[in-house]
Chains A and B, each alone.
Chain A
Amino acid sequence: DAKTTQPPSMDCAEGRAANLPCNHSTISGNEYVYWYRQIHSQGPQYIIHGLKNNETNEMASLIITEDRKSSTLILPHATLRDTAVYYCIVRVDNYGQNFVFGPGTRLSVLP
């Protein structure tokens, strides 16, 4: 699976959009981009995933560049409850593959 690079930490003002970047320059054509987050010491929570096209759900939007070498997770109106560690993972959609979590980005939403 391709390696990802994320900034270690970011701040965002409450009510503003939080844009979390992820570089995955060695991604291959059959690898998906997944985003998870872990709030404090809870179990990680799935947010969104995509292959080529931009994706949106009730939690967030995922913007993937045309060359697929980077992506951005957007939380449109961040709240204090969005303070968490956000993990970007690229992974082949294949039976028998585990998910490898890197250090992620620690997002602090400030009042």
Chain B
Amino acid sequence: NAGVMQNPRHLVRRRGQEARLRCSPMKGHSHVYWYRQLPEEGLKFMVYLQKENIIDESGMPKERFSAEFPKEGPSILRIQQVVRGDSAAYFCASSPWDRSSGANVLTFGAGSRLTVL
């Protein structure tokens, strides 16, 4: 049972290019979360998605950033026209909706590290 898979692990982009980060949740997990971690800073929530639905995007910058989780395939975090300030580690997490235990636990991927030159 593979964990949360993120790719690419490392991505280098020049200013103005687009970055696409992919996240495949754990098998059976229907919820995906994206977090950003700037160098030497904490984890900041960006967006929470269910299949084909954005549940909470309160942490997403208003411009250039978008996320989707289609019916088939991985979740995608897309950053258009990247700037140096977008350089960060982007972590994806997934969770089931486990009614039986009454709790909801996140499993994180290893992250994608974006460097903008």
Q: Which residues of A approach B to under 8 Å, CB–CB? A: 32, 34, 36, 38, 41-46, 49, 51, 91, 93, 95-104
B103 touches A49 (CB 8 A): yes
B104 touches A44 (CB 8 A): no
Bin chain B's interface residue count. Answer: 20 to 34
Please determine whether A103 and B103 come into contact, CB atoms closer than 8 angstroms.
no
What sequence of 0s and 1s flags, for each residue 48-90 of chain B, a beta carbon within 8 Å of any chain A beta carbon? 1000000110010000000000000000000000000000010
Known: A96-B55, A98-B33, A103-B42. A49 touches B108 (CB 8 A): no
Interface centre among A34, A36, A38, A43 (most CB of B within 10 A): A43
Can you give 25 A-B contacts (C-beta < 8 A)? A38-B43, A41-B89, A41-B111, A43-B108, A43-B110, A44-B93, A44-B108, A45-B108, A46-B106, A49-B103, A49-B105, A51-B102, A93-B104, A96-B48, A97-B104, A98-B45, A98-B59, A99-B45, A99-B106, A100-B45, A101-B35, A101-B43, A101-B45, A102-B42, A104-B42
Complex CA gap A97/B107 in Å reads 15
A46 lies within 8 A of B33 (CB): no
